[in-house]
Structure 1
Amino acid sequence: IRLPKTVIPTAYRLDFSTSLENVSFQGIAEIDVEVKEETNFIVIHAQKLNLSNIKISSGKKKWKAKSIKYNEKNQYVILSFNTVLKPETSYTLSMQYSGILSDDMSGYYLSKYGDNDNPSYLATTQFEPTSARKAFPCFDEPEFKATFQLNMTVGAGLTAISNMNVLDIEKIKNSEKKKYIFANSTKMSTYLVAFIVSNFKSISKTNKGIDISVYARPEQIESTEYALEVATKILRFYESTYDIPYPLPKLDLVAIPDFEAGAMENWGLITFRETALLYDEKSPSSINKQYVATVVAHELAHQWFGNLVTMKWWDDLWLNEGFADLGTNAAEPEWGMENHWYYMDVLKAFKTDSSHFTHPIYAEVKDPEEISGIFDDISYSKGSSVIRMIESWLNNINSKQVKRSTSTYSSNYFFNRIHKYLDLYKYSNAETKQLWDALESYDKDGKPLMNVSETMGTFINQGGYPIVMMKNNKDKNTVDLSQERYFINHMELMNDKAPADNSTWIIPYSYLVYSNATGKPELLENKSITLKEDTNIQLPRILERRDENKNVKVFVKGNIDQTGFYRVQYDDEYIQIACEWLKSDLYFMTAIDRAGFLNDISAQLFNGRTENPEIILDCLNFLKNEKSNVVWQSAIDVFKQLLRNFDIHASYGNVKKYVISLIQNIANDIGWEETKNDDNTVHNRSQLRATILGLACAVGEPKLKAQAIEYFEQIKNNTFTKEFSDDILKVIYVTGIYYGNENDFNYIFEQYKKETSVQRKSMLQDSLASVNLPFLQEKLFELSISDEIRQQDTNFLLMRLIRNVGSSAARQCWIFVKDHW
């Protein structure tokens, strides 16, 4: 339920006093408001707050509220006055408020850490999307931007930080308390306000006049150095890329012990789950390091997308989250992460969006529950995937030479227009239409040249995504193209003769034409079209008479570089040709195209879109020579789906043998330790090693499984001498507990309880979630809601167990959830 726009805020002055001992807070709010229409009442958000001494003033005149009506369902209060508030008159709404620090990790809440017998506490905030109203009375909608000046009174030994820099610290008379006075903020939305009261330590550096600091509980301060280093690099990158300076004098990044999300982009005071910000160099892990870098990159991107320019309402959440996922490769260019987006975003979005229960990227929402529901893979991963498609499409139209790299942003059509968008709407709000307008080019008569709104509207305003079906027409030397909506349960729908879904898309379709006319596969054409309805593409004339030479073959690869958010369906002949070439000349396709081709034909296999499944299963043999990380990550996604499909089937053993046959070469080649170089960077190879070895042990590859179990026994017996990364140690622990017994479970749990390193504790917790014996799963379920496991980790632990172990654990988990919730 939206607030009326008769009265809007322009400035807040908030004077907080927080008591960790009493788990409470109180304050005084002064809100300068602008009256748009005559009224005698104001509607303002407040939830679980006690309000008193409510007044409206103009100059020397003051009026007390004559009535206060709370609407708990809609989380607002209606304040009526004995005067008519008039436009073009300055008013200040003031009141006192108080509340209890919550225990649900939203609003203004209490977090605990340290020894259970002698814990330490802090008070922190999480306001997105609709919880600022739990901390202070406010107009809690993103469109109501205002400035915020905060004062924070705290107890002895504690400090306060907020969005802005500290101007002064006043001592409270006859008390050990102190009042922190913060500078006035830029205009921002209420959900971006943040403040923390703690005894945390910090490390800092100054970059171009901006003070950058990372905060953590004192015993974890040594693990903050990497976050500070990477935040400094990424901030410089974004300032250069968007050609708009970071507007605040400081940037704080804070690791919070109890934090439900991964991180929160509060302007100037970004909060993180500890595992998303802390990195212990003494326990190296490429996976953990990448997680820190990517989350920091995501949250720093929000300082422009979301903070500087904010969506007008939550139905345009994707404008915040989609752009924030584009900067990951900026974190560490030397890692070679330029293709990670494919399996981190596109494949994730494909899974969610292939369901009947998906929703459009642009999703109308009204109440807080609906708003919370759209913080999902559609807004994040699909949003960023569609933006990446727009970038590729527009750059392709405007400059055939443009490729995204850190050196070409200034000549990049897309990012030049994004600069225009950010500059035009800075310190304000925007909607999807305004993004389309910024990206469009117009002719002299004002007509759009690229029809960005019409084209991209088909991807934003409806759920699901298309599959483009290619069929070779040799007689006409063409390839016929058609489209339909891709559903994960395509076979079920066909068997049930379900009504056809008539969704269509305007697709920026790209393709490559290969031929072996010279004796080996070579690229003949690189083209793009706009696909609206069934059509065909003409192949090069050189291929018209290929039937005269039976050895000359052609293959058309759809979706160049996988930048389009659609799947491609190949006919069996094309699959067979491409796979023959891949086995003899792996690199005729780029790594990202191999990854996409592999995932698309596997989707055909699972989706009943092939007449000969054996062709696809045989095709995957090209993986025996594959080394690329992005291809293998795509392949592992396929293998996990295959294993899930058969995990309670009589053929499960044969499926595992098939997977082992495909991964054996890469597993033996990559080994347990770093020994040689290949096409991957060390970072990518480290991640690939952990992933491949983990899968090999899970499917029971005899040699690797035995070695992992032997290492686990050595660890338990304290005779282990290898200096493995935490990524490889996790493989060993997971294997030990998956094939182990109650003693093995208890050993890892005891290690978990004693561990002080945040990332290693997380690794041990993940290992526990691979327990295979039903009675131990039940034990883990009980532990998940005990004091031994943080509340923030309960859901993650249960989800990991289902993901790691499969349908048997899912059934057990469902019984447990029904019994306890």
Structure 2
Amino acid sequence: MGKVYYISKNVGLGLLVLGVSALATIIALSIAYDKEKAKNQGRPGDGAADSTSMPTPPATLFTPKEPWDRYRLPDSLVPVSYNVTLWPRLEPNADGLYIFTGHSAVVFKCVKETDLIIIHSNKLNLTNFHGHLAKLSGLDEVTAPTIQKSWLVVKTEFLVLQLRSRLAVGATYVLYIEFQGELADDLEGFYRSEYTEDGVKKVVATSQMQATYARKTFPCFDEPAMKAVFSVTIIHKRGTVALSNGREIDGVIDGMPVKVTTFEPTERMSTYLLAFIVSDFVSIQSNQNNNLLIRIWARKKAIDDRQGDYALNVTGPILQFYERYYNATYPLSKSDQIALPDFNAGAMENWGLVTYRETALLYDPIVSSTGNKERVTTVIAHELAHMWFGNLVTLRWWNDLWLNEGFASYVEYLGADYAEPTWDMKDQIILYDMYKAFAVDALASSHPLSCREEEVNDPAQISEMFNTISYNKSYLNTFAFDNTEYTDLWDHLQKAVENTPGIHIPHTVHDIMNRWTLQMGFPVVTIDTRTGSISQKHFLLDPDSVVDRPSQFNYTWFVPIKWMKTGVEQQQYWLLQKTVSGQDWVLANTNVSGYFRVNYDLENWSRLLSLLNTNHKVSHLPIHLSNVSDTLHCFSKIISTTLALTTTKYLSKEKDYIPWESVLRNLNYYILMFDRTEVYGALQAYLKKQIQPLFEHFRTITANWTRVPSGHTDQYNQINAIGIACSMGVRGCRELIRGWYRQWMETPNHNPIHPNLKSTVYCSAIAFGGTEEWDFAWMKFKNTTVASEASRLRAAMACTKTPWLLNRYLEYTLDPTKIRKQDATSTIQYIAQNVVGLPLAWNFIRARWSYIFQQYGKGSFSFSSLISGITKRFSTEFELQELKKFKEDNLHVGFGSATLALEQAIEKTTANIKWVTENKAQVLKWFTEASK
């Protein structure tokens, strides 16, 4: 294809802009999104780790011989409805095990003649009925075939029933099964969560079905396209409450010390959206949304301390916003949201019963920070977005997971912005998501959004898929309670384009979007203002890397570009083969609205740098975000490293959060590459020089740190000012931090540190201190009843520079009584972020890989972050060889959902080695001269 480029016509052009221009942002979110990495990820000051993973094909070719050898269900049977009864025991049995029992009856229809019934079942003990593992009967006077034999297939997680004769096409049957399972603490399926309240151990039975764990709870057709209606009954102990997707319609106490709660039948839905919970939690509620019942559930103390109030206050407005935005009424009779002590993901969009980590739903008005509050808002907005896009209309198979996740990751900012309009949430999408997408999609080992179905088969591959897309209101109405593929969305977007006056695009939505979804990567667009020419090239972290995935589009894209130049604000029209030239500055991809990077001729770079250093406010965000970010991502030898660093010189004049945060995130690469070398001293001196004015600015406007900045993002930038100033040695900063922390140690029941600053102060004080400071933090961590406070302390304890404390902390991650299983891998990552802790964490992982993999790696979709987090600093040939040996030594163990993350770690380390070798000397020289 020819090199053709388009510039968007109007930011507000409704569906087209959402479907094409803003879609660039959504594509970025697709790539950046690792299922609830995104939601485990904290806001400023939360100290959370990140990760990104994409799917990988099977390591070895497996040729199935029988239908039950395949990971996908046959297409001969379709479920219609389930009747499920569960009875979780919240006390251990004689063997010390927590169990649940139950029975299920699934009504299914035969659509293709077959003598096999294949249904998912995993880790369940099934009752034997006269030699068989199920009972089969017919409906509507249909006679069911007899069962010849039945067996379980461990590899593909199937229950197989071989029948003596064939099922009749069009006939409906009922399969009845009784079962027992373990209510384990593995955070999967129907599992056990524990917490202590008032010195008493409490047990919660809760669930996480996505992606392939419903089959661990009851036998079912556990694929997203196999939608059905579910009627649920839960038997539970008196004094506890049972919750499920539907609203409870009856609660009967029989002669036994149990209660039987039944729920209204669900809408037609997928198994991965089911939820079952039994606890002694309490709730607060509202009925303001057209009499819709909205409830927030949590531990009694959390509710009593009003930690659920904020979530309740924003849920109603966000739901109302989405109803207008989607032009579709919320389809259920209630909206429950519950905060769980143990939860592997950040949150899960179960239809009608959304589950959260406590840090993602609870906000303490006294203890929690502005960042905690923002996180609650954005996570709620993300999960509620799924109630329509994902739950009402659902992907057909996991290879199109981006249809769910990227879109929710985009509109969460819109929902949060509606709930909190003073926060400028839509500006932050670039920081929190776009740049992460750039980082992973610049690798030769990246992957297209829409991969082939056969590349996503077993549970580990499915877990790697957690990634998006735009929408159309008619799309939701057409496919309500049904399943779709990405091509359905393009069809409906195309209809919207054709039916919207004033919109013209020279290609179809399919033509434009297939280049973004069916091939990996993104372009760097080069504008030569001397000649007016515009060209594009596939951007790669290492330009010498080999891309072994062919593309029918030859790695060219239709690129929607917004641009501006001197005196002309935001050009917003479709540009086809037009020139961009002039004697004054030109800036493309303003506000980073397009998913691509930009380069210019040296003359234009010079004009932009001059503008940045003399009048950096003239164009505000466009200059800061696209100019600074693009220049610092200079791995591809497109521009010189010194030119990239020169764009940061103006920072001593900058006071705004987003430009500072953007630069700091990009400069972090330099810190990671050089904080173990002689370069770091000069780098530290330069950053000290740049951050000092910001530190003094906040000291002044807060009256010597006694007040809180009024602006939402100003509060975040105060965190940057203190955190960077202390780590770079600005005079007075360390004394300030130590004083606050020491005052807290001397009066443990009165914390003088403002919640916004706690993460930074805790980390810095523990880094500057010793055993006494660490042990105090551990004591407060064990005793706090506020999840966000526990999360801050857990991250801060990884900041110590004392090796034996870090090694002890690593050992704690293997003990669930010290560090919850949900927090184990992120705690290891926190330690690895510490320059002293990196080698300790790396040795720890290598020595215990088999155990860690068995505990966390087989299906957890956040597991890949462990590899990517530990290897971020790797930049020497020795580390590369260690990484390769680690891979070789553990092939027999496996890497599960971290398989591709390991390949990407090797690729990134290789690129880091080359970049450091080529740039170390000039970077040292530049920082040395710039710090004078």
TM-score, length-scaled by structure 1? 0.87
Aligned: 1:621 with 2:656: no
Out of 613, 617, 620, which is 1:587 matched to?
617
- Which residue in the other structure is 2:732 paired with? 703
Q: CA deviation at 1:672?
A: 8.7
- Which residue in the other structure is 1:412 paired with? none
- After superposition, where does 1:676-691 map in structure 2 within 5 Å? 682-691=711-720
Q: How big is each residue's C-alpha offset from its partner over 1:621-653, in whole Å with a ceiling of 9 and x where there is no partner?
A: 222222322212211102212211211121101
Partners of 2:526 and 2:536 within 8 A in 1: yes
Q: How big is each residue's C-alpha offset from its partner over 1:135-166, in whole Å with a ceiling of 9 and x where there is no partner?
A: 00100000000000001111121111000001
- After superposition, where does 1:159-238 map in structure 2 within 5 Å? 159-172=241-254, 174-206=255-287, 207-221=289-303, 222-238=306-322
Q: CA deviation at 1:328?
A: 2.1
Q: CA deviation at 1:607?
A: 4.1
- Which residue in the other structure is 1:423 paired with? 477
Partners of 1:55 and 1:63 within 8 A in 2: no
- Which residue in the other structure is 2:919 paired with? none
Aligned: 1:20 with 2:74: no
Q: CA deviation at 1:703?
A: 2.3
Aligned letter for 2:226?
Answer: F
Inter-partner Cα distance in structure 1 for 2:631 and 2:845 = 37
The higher-RCO structure (CA 8 Å, 6+ apart) is 2
Could you say what secondary structure the match of 2:238 adopts? coil
Partners of 1:161 and 1:197 within 8 A in 2: yes
Inter-partner Cα distance in structure 2 for 1:616 and 1:237 = 41
Inter-partner Cα distance in structure 1 for 2:643 and 2:561 = 25
How has the CA–CA distance of structure 1 residues 570 and 773 changed in structure 2, closer, same or farther, with 3 Å as cutoff? Answer: farther
- Which residue in the other structure is 2:681 paired with? 653
Aligned: 1:244 with 2:298: no
Aligned: 1:56 with 2:136: yes
Out of 557, 563, 573, which is 2:593 matched to?
563
Out of 359, 374, 379, which is 2:465 matched to?
374
Q: How big is each residue's C-alpha offset from its partner over 1:359-412, in whole Å with a ceiling of 9 and x where there is no partner?
A: 22123411111000122xxx1xxx46xx5xxxxxxxxxxxxxxxxxxxxxxxxx
Partners of 2:533 and 2:580 within 8 A in 1: no
Out of 752, 768, 775, which is 1:739 matched to?
768
Inter-partner Cα distance in structure 2 for 1:313 and 1:719 = 52
Bigger proportion of residues as strand:
1
Q: CA deviation at 1:683?
A: 1.6
- Which residue in the other structure is 2:568 paired with? 523
Out of 520, 540, 543, which is 1:463 matched to?
520
Q: How big is each residue's C-alpha offset from its partner over 1:8-50, in whole Å with a ceiling of 9 and x where there is no partner?
A: 1011111222212241112221111111012222110000112
Q: CA deviation at 1:753?
A: 1.6
Partners of 1:275 and 1:759 within 8 A in 2: yes
Q: How big is each residue's C-alpha offset from its partner over 1:691-722, in whole Å with a ceiling of 9 and x where there is no partner?
A: 33212222222322232122222222339988
Percent identity for Structure 1 against Structure 2: 30
Q: CA deviation at 1:450?
A: 3.8
Out of 433, 438, 455, which is 1:345 matched to?
433
Aligned: 1:811 with 2:811: no
Inter-partner Cα distance in structure 2 for 1:507 and 1:499 = 20
- Which residue in the other structure is 1:96 paired with? 178
Can you give the 5+ residue segments of structure 1 that lack an aligned partner in the other structure? 388-416, 516-521, 544-552
Partners of 1:672 and 1:728 within 8 A in 2: no
Q: How big is each residue's C-alpha offset from its partner over 1:446-486, in whole Å with a ceiling of 9 and x where there is no partner?
A: x996421121112112222211122232xxxx332222222
Inter-partner Cα distance in structure 2 for 1:258 and 1:144 = 29
Partners of 2:562 and 2:593 within 8 A in 1: no
Inter-partner Cα distance in structure 2 for 1:238 and 1:46 = 36
Partners of 2:100 and 2:183 within 8 A in 1: yes
Partners of 1:13 and 1:29 within 8 A in 2: yes
Aligned letter for 2:224?
Answer: P
Inter-partner Cα distance in structure 1 for 2:748 and 2:701 = 18
Q: CA deviation at 1:70?
A: 1.3
- After superposition, where does 1:774-785 map in structure 2 within 5 Å? 774-785=803-814
Task: Using the TM superposition, name which of 770-779 and 432-441 deviates more.
Answer: 770-779
- Which residue in the other structure is 1:600 paired with? 630
Q: CA deviation at 1:537?
A: 1.6
Partners of 2:519 and 2:555 within 8 A in 1: no
Aligned: 1:142 with 2:224: yes
Aligned letter for 2:359?
Answer: T
Aligned: 1:4 with 2:74: yes
Could you say what secondary structure the match of 2:425 adopts? coil
Q: CA deviation at 1:181?
A: 0.8
Partners of 1:562 and 1:593 within 8 A in 2: no
- Which residue in the other structure is 1:294 paired with? 378
Partners of 1:576 and 1:615 within 8 A in 2: no
Aligned: 1:514 with 2:589: no
Out of 526, 537, 556, which is 1:505 matched to?
556
Can you give the 5+ residue segments of structure 2 that lack an aligned partner in the other structure? 1-70, 850-932
Inter-partner Cα distance in structure 2 for 1:91 and 1:186 = 21
How has the CA–CA distance of structure 1 residues 203 and 592 changed in structure 2, closer, same or farther, with 3 Å as cutoff? Answer: farther
How has the CA–CA distance of structure 1 residues 227 and 431 changed in structure 2, closer, same or farther, with 3 Å as cutoff? Answer: same
Q: How big is each residue's C-alpha offset from its partner over 1:245-265, in whole Å with a ceiling of 9 and x where there is no partner?
A: 110000100111110010000
Could you say what secondary structure the match of 1:769 adopts? helix
Aligned letter for 1:487?
Answer: L
Could you say what secondary structure the match of 2:585 adopts? strand
- After superposition, where does 1:274-353 map in structure 2 within 5 Å? 274-326=358-410, 327-331=412-416, 332-353=420-441
Aligned: 1:756 with 2:785: yes
Q: CA deviation at 1:723?
A: 4.9
- After superposition, where does 1:759-770 map in structure 2 within 5 Å? 759-770=788-799
Task: Using the TM superposition, name which of 478-487 and 264-273 deviates more.
Answer: 478-487
Q: CA deviation at 1:673?
A: 7.3
How has the CA–CA distance of structure 1 residues 793 and 719 changed in structure 2, closer, same or farther, with 3 Å as cutoff? Answer: closer
- Which residue in the other structure is 2:876 paired with? none
Could you say what secondary structure the match of 2:448 adopts? coil
Out of 6, 29, 32, which is 2:107 matched to?
32
Partners of 2:144 and 2:173 within 8 A in 1: no
Inter-partner Cα distance in structure 2 for 1:115 and 1:165 = 28
Out of 253, 262, 268, which is 2:352 matched to?
268
How has the CA–CA distance of structure 1 residues 575 and 183 changed in structure 2, closer, same or farther, with 3 Å as cutoff? Answer: same
Out of 146, 151, 154, which is 1:69 matched to?
151
Aligned letter for 1:45?
Answer: H
Q: CA deviation at 1:527?
A: 4.8
- Which residue in the other structure is 1:480 paired with? 533
- Which residue in the other structure is 1:537 paired with? 579
- Which residue in the other structure is 2:236 paired with? 154
Inter-partner Cα distance in structure 1 for 2:771 and 2:604 = 51
How has the CA–CA distance of structure 1 residues 95 and 500 changed in structure 2, closer, same or farther, with 3 Å as cutoff? Answer: closer
- Which residue in the other structure is 2:444 paired with? 356
RMSD, matched Cα: 2.6
Aligned letter for 1:523?
Answer: V
Q: CA deviation at 1:279?
A: 0.6
Out of 699, 709, 719, which is 1:671 matched to?
699
- Which residue in the other structure is 1:692 paired with? 721
- Which residue in the other structure is 1:797 paired with? 827
Inter-partner Cα distance in structure 1 for 2:525 and 2:638 = 12
Q: CA deviation at 1:102?
A: 2.3
Q: CA deviation at 1:185?
A: 0.6
